[in-house]
Amino acid sequence: MPTENELLSAVDALLNQVDQNDLPPPAERKRLREAAELSQTQIAQALGTRREAVGNWETGKTEPRPPQRTAYAQLLKGLAARFPAPDSEAAPEPSVPKTFTAAPAPAPSAPIAPKAPARPATSTARPSSTSRRPGAKRAAKATTSTAAVVDPRFENGPLAVVDCEDGQVSAYCVGGLVLDVPAKSLPALVDWTLAEAKLGQARLHRNGRDADPVLVLTPSALERYGLPAALSDEDRRAGRLPDSHKVIKQIKKAELQLTQLGFGPWARIYRDPEGSRRRCVQVCIPSWNALDAREWDHKDDPQIPSMHPADLARYLGTYAQLVITPRGTASTTGLELMTALRPPTRAEKDETTGNFERAFNADALTAVYDVVECEVPDEHPVLKGRFERHHMRTPDQMLMEEPYDWCRPLTDDECRNPYLVAVDINMSFAAAANSLTVGLDGPTHLTNRPAFDPKLPGSWLVDLSHVDLARVKVNGRTVDADRLPSPFTPKGDRPVGPAWYATPTVAYAVELGFEVAPIEAYVRLQSGRYLDPWYNRLRDAYVTVMADLGVTTAMSGHEFLDAMACSKSTDPTMALLAKAIKATAKGGIGKLRQRNRGQVPYYEPWPALKRETWRPDIRAAVLASQRVGIHRKLMKTAATADLYPVAIGTDAIVYPSPGPSPLDVLPYTEEGKPVPGTFRLGVSPGMVKHQGTQTVLWAEAQFEEAGAVFNIANLIKNDPTAGEGE
């Protein structure tokens, strides 16, 4: 007899088969979308697919497949009810609705909000519109928002920027919407947010939880609610207001609660849950450095302090829609995105009792496991008493998987080129995480010279000093090993003995054709592509924002360089958003091995160690994948075009060039296509853009002034405000 799961699977298969005939013809699909003023990009984002796929569905080239097919059918069914065909007897709707709530998706991704006005008019006169929600007003000159699939519980967006002008408190939301705020105190503002504001964001995974609403307080709002415009030196060191502050007393008197972190730049204020419903509001205060300029702004030319509330709402609200509601720093938010897309637990019904109990998801990080000595940083408690004070651990004692920091002198032939061109890899750490298999459970110690298995993520003690690049052939050609860095060390030096390496590094040695003989290893037997949904969401967010800035994936090399050159001036707010997305990707990987930042003494546990997501082995695997991925392209470029780099800084590669443009140096085929396997210009993660150009004479002057070879890759930037890496 078949089991219950087999029977349920058979029923699901029948339902999917029924779905195959549950869609209208392709032409009708397009008509319904256009009638609702929805773009193909909006549909694709809501269904978790690509815009091209939606276009193919509307032309009949392809048909949607589960699970998108069921959701797409439900969407079309709801649109058909609202927008019947012209020859139908049903009366047409009088106007296009502002929201669509017939088929709320578990993780809707709204499109980029329209650009907010430079300064809304101060008049509070209500526009003559029957579609206005009570207590709301539209910012003057705001462009009309297209309809988007939203959750009715959060119809006003994920967050609001609260501002006070002429005694009137207003909450600026995504899409130009402005809500009148009646609250006279901060506790009243929190209660209004929980009861009336309809702010928040639906969960990104069915087993996750909805995001709390975020209130961003401007300096005028801080003054209105009795908060200081800036923290004092003492409060800044403490990271919070003292408990004696009058606003803290108001919060306690209203029987609201604060987390243990207190009321700081990012504060959580909450009431006890009502059943399964959380009642929590996050408060973000930019003037208290809640939005670190190194991640959210331009460090040398900050924009957020002078940004109008409508623009700030557009900036942070669009980030929330495309990525996730901000949870603090971009690094913290990047880590939270991993958990939101791969929740550790789910509710599972106990068949004997009928009660729902907590169960763990097999594809997530679900527990804090024992650490491996070679994988942890120097201050970790497990190393207490292991080494003498100030001992520098060697490669056979510590896993040193880091990005490249390598530079070499130019040869005489290379000095005949007038220029040095630096290209930078888009979101290189995120791209390295794509399709990467990482460990999900605790370490298993393998001894007695175990055989290397590239399918087992972990750390391997192995001697790779015998790997000689001069013996490697690419397309039948060898390379000049002296002009390439070693793929096994961040400084590019050839290994001199046994050292700890992550699985991607050892696997690359095998790929090059060399034998490896591990001495011991710490591996994870349970593994998976934990970071794939995280990468996909960040990739889609970045590509979407860059398209809004005029840079698309379909551009040729010349078009791409021209578009990138003017992208930051096209829309400064969206340019900041692209920077924040990149910081989220880079910082999220770094948070996997968050170090002690002085919270506790050396060798004492710090708070991050209690997280399931404190996984230095996963960080090491990503960085190893990023470094060997660069080296793989370096080898291909050297073999096919006799082109060698002179410096690499994190993800910036510097080549001698006869001209100032990347098009003058990157190899192309006779048909004008990039040589397969080499660096390719483009906006997608893993492709490269122009970072900057300098002359060879400038480089020689730098070397002469420094008295030694140092890394010029970090100095060649056309944009001085660009951050290092990513």
The DSSP secondary-structure symbol of 673 reads P
What are the CA-CA distances from residue 497 to residues 72, 387, 398, 469 (Å)?
57, 20, 13, 17
> In angstroms, rounded to a whole number, what is the distance separating the alpha carbons of residues 507 and 629?
12
> In angstroms, rounded to a whole number, what is the distance separating the alpha carbons of residues 504 and 620?
9
List beta partners, residue 528. Answer: 438
Return the half-sphere exposure (C-beta side, CA atoms, 13 A cut-off) of residue 105: 25
> In angstroms, rounded to a whole number, what is the distance separating the alpha carbons of residues 407 and 422?
13
% the chain with pLDDT above 70: 86
pTM of this structure: 0.80
Count Cβ atoms within 10 A of the Cβ of residue 262 and give its class: 0-12 exposed, 13-18 middle, 19 or more buried.
middle
Measured in whole angstroms, how far is the alpha carbon of residue 92 from the centre of its chain?
Answer: 42
Task: Yes or no: say if 688 and 663 are a contact pair by the CB < 8 Å rule.
Answer: no
192: Cβ contacts below 8 Å, ≥ 6 apart: 181, 182, 183
Strands (E), 458-571: 458-463, 473-474, 477-478, 498-502, 520-523, 527-528
Does the domain formed by 13-97 have CATH 2.60.40?
Answer: no
What sign has the CA pseudo-torsion 123, 128, 132, 135?
positive
* pLDDT value of position 629: 97
What are the residue boundaries of the structural domains of the chain, listed by start?
A: 13-97, 136-327, 373-402+431-528
> In angstroms, rounded to a whole number, what is the distance separating the alpha carbons of residues 555 and 386?
55
* pLDDT value of position 40: 86
**Rg, Å, the chain Cα set:** 28
Cβ neighbours, 10 Å, residue 340? 24
* pLDDT value of position 145: 35
> In angstroms, rounded to a whole number, what is the distance separating the alpha carbons of residues 122 and 139?
9
- Extract the tokens encoding 79: 């649109």
What are the CA-CA distances from residue 232 to residues 20, 221, 237, 240, 266 (Å)?
64, 18, 9, 10, 16
- Among 600, 606, 586, 439, which residue's Cα sits nearest to residue 524? 439
Cβ neighbours, 10 Å, residue 635? 21
Task: Yes or no: say if 374 and 394 are a contact pair by the CB < 8 Å rule.
Answer: no
- What is the bridge-based pairing of β-strands 438-439 and 444-446? unpaired
* pLDDT value of position 262: 94
What sign has the CA pseudo-torsion 431, 432, 433, 437?
positive
* pLDDT value of position 102: 33
User: Cis link prior to 92 (omega < 30° from 0)?
Assistant: no
> In angstroms, rounded to a whole number, what is the distance separating the alpha carbons of residues 182 and 191?
11
* pLDDT value of position 67: 72
The DSSP secondary-structure symbol of 664 reads G
Q: Which contiguous run of DSSP H or E holds residue 485?
A: none
List beta partners, residue 688. Answer: 425, 681
Task: Yes or no: say if 459 and 502 are a contact pair by the CB < 8 Å rule.
Answer: yes
Return the half-sphere exposure (C-beta side, CA atoms, 13 A cut-off) of residue 80: 15
> In angstroms, rounded to a whole number, what is the distance separating the alpha carbons of residues 20 and 8?
19
> In angstroms, rounded to a whole number, what is the distance separating the alpha carbons of residues 454 and 250?
58
Which SS3 state, helix, strand or coil, does residue 327 take?
coil
Which SS3 state, helix, strand or coil, does residue 626 take?
helix
- Extract the tokens encoding 16: 């999917």
In the predicted model, residues of the chain with pLDDT beneath 70 are 1-22, 87-149, 707-709, 719-726
- Extract the tokens encoding 206: 């069915």
Phi, psi of 610 (to 5 degrees): -85, -5
Residue with tokens 């098009």: 663
Strands (E), 603-726: 647-650, 652-657, 688-695
Residue with tokens 């403490």: 238
Task: Yes or no: say if 590 and 331 are a contact pair by the CB < 8 Å rule.
Answer: yes
Task: Yes or no: say if 242 and 248 are a contact pair by the CB < 8 Å rule.
Answer: yes
> In angstroms, rounded to a whole number, what is the distance separating the alpha carbons of residues 324 and 316?
10
What are the CA-CA distances from residue 628 to residues 289, 624, 636, 651 (Å)?
37, 6, 12, 12
What are the CA-CA distances from residue 411 to residues 199, 483, 485, 647, 716 (Å)?
61, 9, 15, 13, 19
Burial 141-154 (b: 16+ CB within 10 A, else e): ebeebbbbbbbeeb
| Single-letter amino acid code for the residue at 162 | V
Task: Yes or no: say if 666 and 678 are a contact pair by the CB < 8 Å rule.
Answer: yes
* pLDDT value of position 357: 87
* pLDDT value of position 349: 83
What are the CA-CA distances from residue 680 to residues 126, 325, 425, 603, 712 (Å)?
52, 33, 9, 45, 22
List beta partners, residue 284. Answer: 216, 266
List beta partners, residue 165. Answer: 168
- Among 546, 724, 720, 585, which residue's Cα sits nearest to residue 651? 724
> In angstroms, rounded to a whole number, what is the distance separating the alpha carbons of residues 360 and 526?
14
The DSSP secondary-structure symbol of 304 reads G
- Extract the tokens encoding 12: 């699901």
